[in-house]
Amino acid sequence: MSYNLLKGKKGIIFGALDSNSIAWKTAERVHEEGGQFVLTNAPVAMRMGQINELAEKTGSQIIPADATSVEDLQNLVEKSMEILGGKIDFVLHSIGMSINVRKGKHYTDQNYEWTQKGTDVSAMSFHKVMQTLYKADAMNEWGSIVALSYMAAQRVFPDYNDMADNKAYLESIARSFGYFFGRDKKVRVNTISQSPTPTTAGSGVKGFDGFIAYADKMSPLGNATALDCANYTVSLFSDLTKRVTLQNLYNDGGFSNMGVSDAVMATFTGEE
């Protein structure tokens, strides 16, 4: 169902890899709601994914960019404004990566070079994206910037490893930069803390399937899907959320406020 919420709005969507990814679903929803955008991903991710298919489907152009490179980001912002014919209304940062997770390094036995690379990709890149937009004065007033996070930024999920630290840093950047973006440019900055979602990035975490099932049993409404997240993001890109900023917003079926649920208790008391 389309409400034309983003008619006339233009933006940049980072991180669409394949049809499972939240950025991909968001791009589809933004397109349905009348928004136009440029798609971007790291050159290596573009070789892995099917981003061309998404570009075709949504009538979008792709600009490859390494989000850790300020030079690439400057080029991206400049070219996006040329393609879209003016300033930008929305940005989705959907980027995260941990080499320690990928290579099975335990949190207590990190390879710090890998840790640093992961921090740069997963969190620092968000600062670089915003600083580039801010310095170029590339955002329209009442624009909206959203990054995707996860509740491991606040609570312990042992196998989420150094990604938990990256997400905590990401959320802090959203608040700190969001203050200046709001004060100086009337732009809002928020993070969405999403349910565990079976994406390429998420599935790399050990024991992920079990965790998805656990979160689903804990949440009164069940896990939020990638499409749910896309819809929430659309609402944050729209004019209906003009004064929502500096927030970390939970889109998780209620998981974040639960202590324990009947369904989870039943598995321990043998009442299933």
Is 192 part of any known ligand binding site? Answer: no
Is 22 part of any known ligand binding site? Answer: yes
Whether 250 sits among the annotated catalytic residues: the reply is: no
For the beta sheet containing 139-149, the strands, ordered from the edge strand earlier in sequence to the opposite edge, are 61-62, 36-40, 10-14, 88-93, 139-149, 188-194, 248-251
Q: Which of 160, 214, 232, 250 is catalytic?
A: 160
Is 15 part of any known ligand binding site? Answer: yes
Instruction: Decide if 142 contacts 187 (C-beta within 8 A).
Output: yes
Q: Which of 107, 112, 134, 150 is catalytic?
A: 150
- The string of DSSP letters for 80-143 reads HHHHHTS-EEEEEE-----HHHHTT--GGG--HHHHHHHHIIIIIHHHHHHHHHHHTT-EEEEE
Whether 214 sits among the annotated catalytic residues: the reply is: no
Alpha helices in the chain (DSSP H): 22-32, 43-48, 51-58, 70-84, 99-102, 112-119, 125-135, 163-185, 208-218, 226-237, 262-269
> Annotated binding site, which residues?
15, 21-22, 95, 167
What positions carry a catalytic annotation?
150, 160
> Annotated binding site for NAD(+), which residues?
15, 21-22, 95, 167
